A and B are shown apart, each in its own frame.
Chain A
Amino acid sequence: MHSSLVRVQNVFGFFTSVTFVVGALIALSALLFPTEPGSVNIDVTNFRVSKGRVRQYHATKPHELASVNFDLEADLNPLFNWNTKQVFAYVSVSYPGKKFSENEVVIWDRIITSSSKAKLRLKNQTPKYRIHDITGKISARENVTLTFHWNVQPHVGALTWGSAAESEAFVLPAIGEKKPASKPVVKKSS
C-alpha cells in the first residue's frame, strides 16, 4: 500500500470482489420470491384459415395461413420483484402433424417492464403473428391448443420460464371457413 497506484489497484480489486458477492446474493434472492403468476385464463374466440402470399419464403404459390383470436386474462404481478428486469409474455399454438409430430408457433407476445403494466386483459385479441406451418398447409388441423407462457428476465442471475392455462383442443377449419367461438371450457391455472 506504499504508493497511490498500489492503493488504487487494491480498492478496485476489492470492489470487484464485493460486487461479485453482492451480485451473487441478489441472484440467489430471487429464490425467495414467487415464480407463478396470479390467475391465468385463456380462451379461443375465433379462427380463420386463408391463403396468402408468403414473399419472405420466396415461394411461388401462396401458402396457407391461420389466424387465431383469443381472450386472455393474466395477473403477472407476483413475478415482479427487485431482481425482475422484464417479463416476456407470449401465447403459442401447438398442434401435431404427420411429418412433424410436434409443432408450436407463437402468435402473440408482449414485453412487460414494470408491475404496473403486469395485468393483462385482452378480449378477442387479434394475433400479432399468423400461423404458417413448415409444410405450408395449416387447414383442417386437429387437436390444436392455445397456451400462455411467460419468461422472467432478471437484472442478474438465472432466467425462468413457465406456462399455464392450456385451452381445450379445437380444430382449424378448411380454407375460407370462418368459425365463431363455440368454445369449450378453459382450464384455469392456480
Chain B
Amino acid sequence: MSLLDSLGLSELRRLNVRQQLSQILNFALILATAFMLWKGLSIATDSPSPIVVVLSGSMEPAFQRGDLLFLWNRNLDMNKEGGFGGTQVGEIVVYNTGTAIPIVHRVVRRHKGETTPFNLLTKGDNNNADDIELYPHGQWYLDREKEVIGSVVGYVPFVGYVTIMLSEHPWMKTALLGIMGLLVVLQRE
C-alpha cells in the first residue's frame, strides 16, 4: 500500500474502480428502466405481453408478418363474474392454448353464461375454417379469462420484421456482428 501512496497512484486507483462501478450502474439503470417500462405497460393493459409481432399470414390482408400489434386486456364491461365479459365478436384477440406460439385471430362466436367460463371461438381472416383444429383435442372454445392474453387495439406496420428475421435466420446475427467487427477494424479511430 505504501508503494502506491508514494507513487501518488492510490487515489487514481480508487477513482478507476468507482468509475467502473459507475459505468456498470449506468448500464443497469438503463436495463432496469426498459424493464420497468415494459412491466408498467403490462400492468396498465393487464396483459402479460402488451406488444406482439405478427408471425403468420393467417390474418392477411390486415396483418402481415412483421407487423406490430398493441394489446389491451381490460374490458370496460366488468361484471361480477370476473370482468372479461366485454369481448365482442369481431374483436381480434391473441390467445395461447398451451402450444408454443400465441395466435392472433378474430372472434367469431361468443357464449356468456352466469356460471360458465366465457367462451370464444376464433378464426383467421385468411383461413377458410375456424380454429377448432388449433385448440387442444376435445376443446371447442377458448376460455376468455385463462387463454386470451389481450385484444388488438393498435397497429404499426413492418417494425417487428427485424425480430422475425433474426429469429428465423440465425446466420444474420453472425453476419451483423461480422459487419460491425469489420467496420471497427477498418476505422482508424
Contact = CB atoms under 8 A, between A and B. Distances in A.
A104 B24 CA distance: 56
Interface in A18-33: 23
Contacts of B152: 159
A15 interface: no
A57 interface: yes
Given A57-B140, A101-B114, A111-B125, A92 B154 contact: no
A102 B109 CA distance: 11
B39 to A, nearest CB: 23
Given A113-B61, A134-B119, A161-B91, A58 B138 contact: yes
Contact of A156 (B89, B106, B141, B155): B155
Interface in A56-93: 56-58, 85-86, 88, 90, 92
Contacts of A133: 111
B16 interface: no
Given A105-B109, A106-B108, A129-B108, A92 B62 contact: no
A88 B132 CA distance: 22
Interface string B156-169: 11000000000000
Interface of B: 61-62, 85, 88-92, 106, 108-114, 116, 119, 125, 129, 132-133, 137-138, 140-141, 152-157, 183, 187, 189
28 contacts: A3-B189, A5-B187, A56-B132, A85-B62, A86-B61, A86-B62, A88-B62, A88-B90, A88-B106, A88-B125, A92-B90, A99-B113, A100-B112, A100-B119, A102-B110, A103-B109, A103-B110, A105-B109, A111-B125, A151-B90, A151-B92, A156-B155, A156-B157, A158-B155, A159-B92, A159-B152, A159-B153, A161-B91
Given A103-B109, A113-B61, A161-B88, 17 more contacts: A56-B132, A86-B61, A86-B62, A88-B62, A100-B112, A101-B112, A101-B114, A103-B112, A104-B88, A104-B109, A105-B108, A134-B111, A151-B92, A157-B154, A158-B153, A159-B154, A161-B90
